[in-house]
Structure 1
C-alpha cells in the first residue's frame, strides 16, 4: 500500500530533509508540498539538490486537498503550527515538528514560549514523539509532537539512567554543541558566515533555553519527583550535528550497563565500547545516534556523550520514524541510509 503524504512548510530545512528521506521510502508518495512565500515555485528552484525528484509544485496550505492525504507532516514555525493543525481534518494523521504540542501543561507552554496555547484540545491529544520511549503510544496516535533536537539528545543520555536510579538526580549537567541549521532557514544577522565562522558561543545561558521545558517534563515524570538539570547549548560553525556531553554522579560501569540494556534492540541507537566517545561526523545525514560512556578522574562520576544529526534523528528522521509506526510500516523504512563521510 502506498501512503499519500503532505509536507507543510516544505521550503525550510526540516521540510527539505523530509523530502530527501521520503524519496527512498518504499511505501510513501509525496502528494502535496506547501510554502507561504515560495508558493508557485518548484522544489528544484528552492532546493536544487532535489531536482532529480519528480515532486509536486509548492502551493499554499489552502490549495491542498486533504481528502487525498493519509498523513501530514507539519514543518511550520512555533505558534503557526497549532493554528494550522486546528483547521485540518479531524481524522488526518499528523506529525508536527514544531514545539506547539510537546509540553502537556498549558502553563508550561506559556512559560517557555510566551503565548497562550490556542488549541488545548489538540495539546491534550498529542503524543510526545521520542520514538524509542513512546513507541506503543505513537502507533495508535493521530497527532504526534516531535521533540526538540537538543531535548532528544539530552534524553537519550539520561532517560535510562533516571529510570534505573543509577545517578544522582540533583547534580546533572548537560553541555551541548549544535550546528547552525538548528536555527532554521530564516535570514538572521548573527548566522551570517562572517558573524558565525571561526568562533563558538553559548546561548540561552543560565537556564532560559526552551528545551528545558521538555527536560523538566520528561525527567520529572520518569523519576516521580521534580528533576532539574543544568543545560547550556553552544552554537558552532557547522551545518549539521549535535554533540551532547552530560556529567553525572554515578558508577561509570553502572551508567554504561543501564544505557547498553536500554538500547540493545534499538535499530538507530548505537552504543560505543566503554571508554569510546562519539563524533558528529560519524552520524552526519543519518538517523543513527551514537552513545558513549567514560569514567572521570573523580571517582564516582561518569561522562555520557551523545552524537546525532539535528535535522535527521533530531527532527525529520524522527518524524518519519514516528510516521512509519502510525501507518503500520516497518519503523526503519526509508531511514537505514549510512551516514555521509567525510
Structure 2
C-alpha cells in the first residue's frame, strides 16, 4: 500500500508561478511610401498658368501707368490752353503793346508787384521784329521776349462841369504776364521751378485829358466824379498814356481836388493772379530735355538765371494789325510716374491805337 502525505493524493500542492515567456521578436519591414510624380500635362499647365498670370499682372500695371500718364497729359494740356485763351481774350481791346525799350522798361517798374511774385532776373519784353515772319533766333534775346505787357481799354465816361461843358475821359488797365520762380527756381537737371503770373492794374485815366481842362471848377468836378465812380468804376489813378512814363503817374487826393504824384500802379486783386499754373504744373525751364519744346523762338542761354524758358513771345505786323506769337511749354510738377508735358503755340492778331 502506498502511503501518501496527509491529505491524500489530491491534497493541495503549493502553486508555482508560471514563468513569463518572452515574445518572439517580430521583424518590422519598413513601409514603402509610394510618391506619385506629376504628369507632364500637369507641369505644363502650372507653367502656363504662371506665365499667363505674369503677363496679366504686367499688362495691368502698364495699363494703370498709361492711364495715369494720359490723365496728366489731359490736365496739363487743358491748363496751358486756358492760359493762352485768357491772354487772347484780354488783348481784344489792346491800346498799346509795350516793347523792350525805355518806355516798356519804365512800365514794368511802375507795376506794384508782391515780393513773393517778382519777375525772374532775365525777364524782358519782346522787340518788334523787322520782318513779319516768326521763327527761331540765333542770338539770345534779339527780339524774342519772355514777358508780355499791354494797355487795354477800360471804358470811357462823360462828365459835365459847372460851366456846362462835357468832358469825355478814357480809362485803361495795364495787363502783364511774366515768369516768377517757384521754390529754388530753375535748377540743372530739373524741368520745373517756374510759374506764370498775371498782373491786372486798377483802372487808370489818361492824365493828359484831365490836365487839358482849363476851367478850375470843371477840373475839380471831373476829379470828384472819377473818385466817386460816377458813370463807371471809381478811378483814383491817372497817367500820361502817350508821354514819358517816369513821373507821369498820380493819384487823386482824399478831397478830390488835386493830384498827388506816385511811383507805382496797384494791382486789381480780383483780376490778378500770382500763380496761373499753381502747384500742380510748372512752366518748363531751360534745363529740361529739348523734347519739351523750350527754345522754339528764342535762343537758350543760362546767364542770369536763364532765358527764355517755356514762355516765348515775338511781335510782328503793323500797328493796325499787330501779330503776337506766343510759345508756351508746361509740365506736370507732381512727383511719381512719367510727367505729362505740352508745348502750345498761338498767334494773336490785334491792333494798337
When Rg is computed on C-alpha atoms for both structures, the one with the higher figure is: 2
Using structure 2 for the length normalisation, give the TM-score. Answer: 0.21
The structure, 1 or 2, with the larger RCO (C-alpha pairs under 8 Å, 6+ apart) is 2
